[in-house]
């Protein structure tokens, strides 16, 4: 039977899960989540998807491969995937398909690797590899077998109904399916580090919402739009991410007016953490995530982190804490946030920067400075004036106009 003529789709992607399958109890949950994430990402394309405990299959028209590949590279939980040809699991069909497909490949040396997950198939793996190797050698000129360093590896995976033949394997972006670990709130400033921190947290299966502290008129709407663009980029790796805009002007001005100039950044960060603590609990999240990187600025020294962190007992995840700046930049380029991050708009961390911010703040001093104004009331007021922006809706914003 020539499947090319009978099947609606001519190509097939076989997905390998990797780390997912080692988590025995959650395995089904993880695979289901990956399955639905793929359906969500591939919406609008003509394809069919099936899931099994060890593999997932996407059948599609070959002209869509580049689009699908691009989308797969934005789905967490895929360890690797291959572009495979599918045949019925019997020797004659496999031979016919194998010869047809391998004639289009360019190579001088090769080896055959067979994986027989269906033990009812009458020929053992090594035996089958040898037979197929022989078949290839008799049908194609000027090639030889090289088991150590072949130019082409012919993979034959024999499963119960169908056998999959493939020559090339692509890496996925790994991680856990988006959101399987629960939710966290990301402090998103607009700089290079925080989007990268968000991406890395998402990669480990954390569903995120983003929190942006805004100090209009000291910061502009352009700065907010920049953050919205960053959220959109992160949303490419997940879905339904919301941006929570915190009106921070009043608190920030109060700090600037009342507190020791050396301490304004430290106290500002403590206020942000206090607000984050409240937001995490309100939004049924579990952790605060931010882009702090050890030693990068005055508020990110170990003593600063200690003093700032002491206002909350929630876990604070700092995915880029131990990365060098250049390593962070590499990731930001990979996830396409770098060019947005470097746009030159002031954010609230850069508006009021004292000439000499304290590097080793003292906790008692912070508390004394904070007693100079009623921040608790201001925080309450701020939290009752939050603005929620859903970036998913943004795409349809101009539906009527465009």
Is residue 398 involved in binding another protein (CB under 8 A)? Answer: yes
Is residue 401 involved in binding another protein (CB under 8 A)? Answer: yes
Is residue 236 involved in binding another protein (CB under 8 A)? Answer: no
Nearer to another protein, 43 or 401 (CB): 401
Distance CA 170, CA 69 (A): 9
Taking Cα atoms as reference points, which of 271, 313, 268 lies closest to residue 288? 313
Residue 303: HSE in the Cβ half-sphere, 13 Å Cα cutoff? 8
Is residue 67 involved in binding another protein (CB under 8 A)? Answer: no
Q: What are phi and psi of 85, to 5 degrees?
A: -105, 140
Residues with Cβ within 8 Å of residue 134, at least 6 apart in sequence = none
Is residue 393 involved in binding another protein (CB under 8 A)? Answer: no
Distance CA 105, CA 101 (A): 7
Distance CA 198, CA 287 (A): 12
Is residue 220 involved in binding another protein (CB under 8 A)? Answer: yes
Question: What is residue 25's three-state secondary structure?
Answer: coil
Distance CA 389, CA 241 (A): 9
The 177-216 site mask, x for binding another protein (CB under 8 A), equals: ----------------------------------------
Is residue 221 involved in binding another protein (CB under 8 A)? Answer: yes
Residues contacting another protein: total by CB under 8 A: 9
Nearer to another protein, 225 or 301 (CB): 225
Is residue 109 involved in binding another protein (CB under 8 A)? Answer: no
How many Cβ atoms from other residues are within 10 Å of residue 385's Cβ? 11
Nearer to another protein, 6 or 396 (CB): 396
Nearer to another protein, 55 or 232 (CB): 232
> Which run of H or E residues covers position 241?
none
Asked if 359 and 301 touch (Cβ cutoff 8 Å), the reply is yes
Nearer to another protein, 322 or 402 (CB): 402
Q: Select the residue interacting with another protein from 124, 151, 222, 374 (CB under 8 A).
A: 222
Shortest distance in whole angstroms from residue 220 CB to another protein:
7
Shortest distance in whole angstroms from residue 340 CB to another protein:
13
What are the residues binding another protein (CB under 8 A)? 220-222, 225, 397-398, 400-402
């Amino acid at each position: 039977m020539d499947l090319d003529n009978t099947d609606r789709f001519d190509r097939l992607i076989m997905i390998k899960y990797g780390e997912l399958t080692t988590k025995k109890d959650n395995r089904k949950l993880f695979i289901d989540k990956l399955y639905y994430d793929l359906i969500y990402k591939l919406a609008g394309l003509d394809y069919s998807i099936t899931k099994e405990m060890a593999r997932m299959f996407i059948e599609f028209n070959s002209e869509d491969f580049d689009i699908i590949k691009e989308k797969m590279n934005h789905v967490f939980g895929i360890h690797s995937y291959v572009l495979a040809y599918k045949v019925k699991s019997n020797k004659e069909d496999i031979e016919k398909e194998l010869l047809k497909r391998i004639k289009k490949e360019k190579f001088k040396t090769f080896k055959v690797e067979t994986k027989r997950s269906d033990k009812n198939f009458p020929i053992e793996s090594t035996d089958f590899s040898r037979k197929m190797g022989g078949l290839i050698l008799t049908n194609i000129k000027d090639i030889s077998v090289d088991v150590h360093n072949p130019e082409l590896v012919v993979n034959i995976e024999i499963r119960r109904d169908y056998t999959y033949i493939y020559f090339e394997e692509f890496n996925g972006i790994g991680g856990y399916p988006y959101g399987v670990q629960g939710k966290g709130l990301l402090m998103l400033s607009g700089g290079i580090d925080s989007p990268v921190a968000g991406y890395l947290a998402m990669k480990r299966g954390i569903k995120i919402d983003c929190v942006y502290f805004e100090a209009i008129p000291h910061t502009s709407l352009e700065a907010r739009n920049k953050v919205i663009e960053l959220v959109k980029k992160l949303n490419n790796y997940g879905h339904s991410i919301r941006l929570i805009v915190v009106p921070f002007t009043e608190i920030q001005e109060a700090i600037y007016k009342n507190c020791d100039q050396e301490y304004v950044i430290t106290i500002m960060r403590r206020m942000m953490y206090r607000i984050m603590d409240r937001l995490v609990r309100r939004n049924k999240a579990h952790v605060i995530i931010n882009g702090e990187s050890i030693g990068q600025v005055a508020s990110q020294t170990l003593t600063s982190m200690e003093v700032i962190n002491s206002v909350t007992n929630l876990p604070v995840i700092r995915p880029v804490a131990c990365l060098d700046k250049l390593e962070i930049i590499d990731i930001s380029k990979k996830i396409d946030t770098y060019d947005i991050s470097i746009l030159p708009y002031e954010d609230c961390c850069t508006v009021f920067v004292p000439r000499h911010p304290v590097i080793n703040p003292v906790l008692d001093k912070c508390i004394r400075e904070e007693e100079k104004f009623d921040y608790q009331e201001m925080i309450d007021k701020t939290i009752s004036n939050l603005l929620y922006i859903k970036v998913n809706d943004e795409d349809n914003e101009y539906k009527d106009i465009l």
